[in-house]
Structure formats: structure tokens, C-alpha cells
Amino acid sequence: MKTAVLGAGSFGTCLAKLLAENGHDVTVWSHSLDTAEAIRQNRENTIYLPGISLPASLKVTHEMPEALEKAELVVCAVPTQATRSALEKARDLIPKSAFVVSASKGIEKGSCLLVSDIFVEVLGEKEKNRLFFLSGPSFAKEVAERVPTAITIASYSAEHLGVVQAAFHNEYFRAYATTDVTGVELGGALKNVMAIATGISDGLGLGHNTRAAIITRGLAEIARLGRAMGADPLTLMGLAGMGDLVLTCTGDLSRNRTVGLQLGQGKSLTEIMAGMRMVAEGVPTTESAHDLANQKNVEMPITEAVYQILYGNKSPRETIRELMTRRLKFEMER
């Protein structure tokens, strides 16, 4: 299958490698000419996925029309906040019969739209049946190293899900399917907020009890918002929900957990972001999730706490104390 991967970050690169190894004709589009040249010359993404050799068959370009020409499968793996501009640039270049897969996780600032909503808004309502959304517990480095990984691919219709599943599936990468797009999207976006929260807790040295409480109550928050937005709560118990939540909140490769760790250790957000080359999606997503929760009138205390630390300059330790002294309630209270 002729495949275009839009985005040469760590996850775009690892998916391009996977698809090339699956026998597809893959071209990666890089927004950065320097990154494209580095991949072409070194057969390695030395900037975003160093130490991983890329297949000789994998092509890279800085020109989007070249990447998208005659593509049968298009994978969009740009940061969430750049998704709209990338899609607007690609919209008239994507062949009308191509399947389009999003591999981004987040909520757009300002509009509070899920990535799936951005795709529908930019590409058009009539294109929904060829849109797919890939999410689940999958660090790019481990996928690139062929570590056994299971993810979920969501679509509005089951009609073509099997074809897209098969395109990604191999002996180390297992793709499950669902038609609960909203649940998969919310799980992938909000786990990054919870990863910042667990990182803050770990940075404060609060221990495993606190981490477990944040992960569990974080899932309850995600499920509450999911219910308000029409998601199936069972989706959030699966790979795109609990699976990705556990990975991102506990894994050392998590950029969002790293942000939280450094906040807990006393660094400012400005200082942390200045020292990061790759995007920590949870930082802008926290602001969007905070706004979305207010719009839907859904109580999300952990999200609110992270928002106040990131954008309200509140003390992490004092914010944890406030979370612990909230009114007592039933665990399953909505």
C-alpha cells in the first residue's frame, strides 16, 4: 500500500518504520528540512529517534505534495496543536480514496476540539468513513525496537477497519478495533494530564500510594467526561484508556511525566519547556481539558489541580494537600 506519514517526530518515524517493515511503500513528510536531510543521509532520525536504523526502502521529503502523491494510506502524526494547519495544507492533496489515520493525542487549544473533531471539521463530514484514530500504550522507542505492543484503532464505521488494522499489524504490533472514536480520543488525550500529575507526585517524593490514587481517580475523571461526551466507559478500561494511562503515568520514557517530575522538584514550567526538544502534549491539553470540563459541567479535580500548577502558579505541595482535604464522597459518585 502506498503510504504517506505526515510528521517526522518520534512517533511518526516509528510508525513509518513499522509500515515499511510491513512491506508498504512509505514516504515520510517532515516539516523540517534539516530533519528530512538527516534521515535521508543517516538512515536514522538522529533528532527524534536516535539509535534506530530505518529501512532502506523508507523515503523522506520536505515537500508534502511529493509525500501524498497517489497515497492509499495517510498517517498524520504531527503534534495536536499543529494538526489543523497540517490538514489544511494536505486537504486538497490527499487522494479521495485514501484511508486517513490520526496518531495524535490531545485537545485543541481555544476550540476544545478532539483531534477527531478537527479531522472532520477540516476534511468534511462526508469523509468520516475513511478516518481512523490510532491510540494506546505505545512509546515510540519501544515500538521501533520491536517490543510487543498492543494498540487500538477507532473509526466511525466498521466497514474498512479490518483493512487498516491489517496494514499496521505484525508479530510485534497488535491492532485492536473499535467504533468508539470519542472514548479512544479522550483516553489518549487526558492520560497526558494525569501523567503530569503523577510526575508531580513522584517529584515531591510522595510514594507509590499517591501515584496509585492519582492513576485510579484520574481514570474516574476521564470516564466522567467520557460519559458526558457520549463515550462508552468500557473503552476507557481498555488499551486507549487504562492501558495508555498506566504506561504514561509510570514509564520513564513519558515526556509528560518528566514535566511533572521537574515541576515537583521545583522547576518552573518555562524552564522545563525551554529544555525540551519534543512536545509534551499534556501541557496544552491540560488547559483545553480544564475548559472542556467547565463547558460540560464535569468535576475533574486532578485536572483542575494540574491546571492551577501549570497556569495559576500554585504550589504543587499545597495543591496536593487541597486535593486530599476535599469533601468526602462515595467512590462511585458521579
* Sheet arrangement for strand 73-76: 59-61, 25-29, 2-6, 73-76, 99-102, 131-135, 149-155, 173-178
- The secondary structure of 83-138 as a DSSP string is HHHHHHHHTTTS-TT-EEEE----B-TTT--BHHHHHHHHH-GGGGGGEEEEESS-
Provide the residue type at 207 as one letter.
G
Task: Decide if 191 is catalytic.
Answer: yes
How many degrees, rounded to 5, is the angle at CA 120 between CA 14 and CA 24? 30
Among 89, 105, 191, 329, which one carries the catalytic annotation?
Answer: 191
Kindly list the catalytic residues: 191
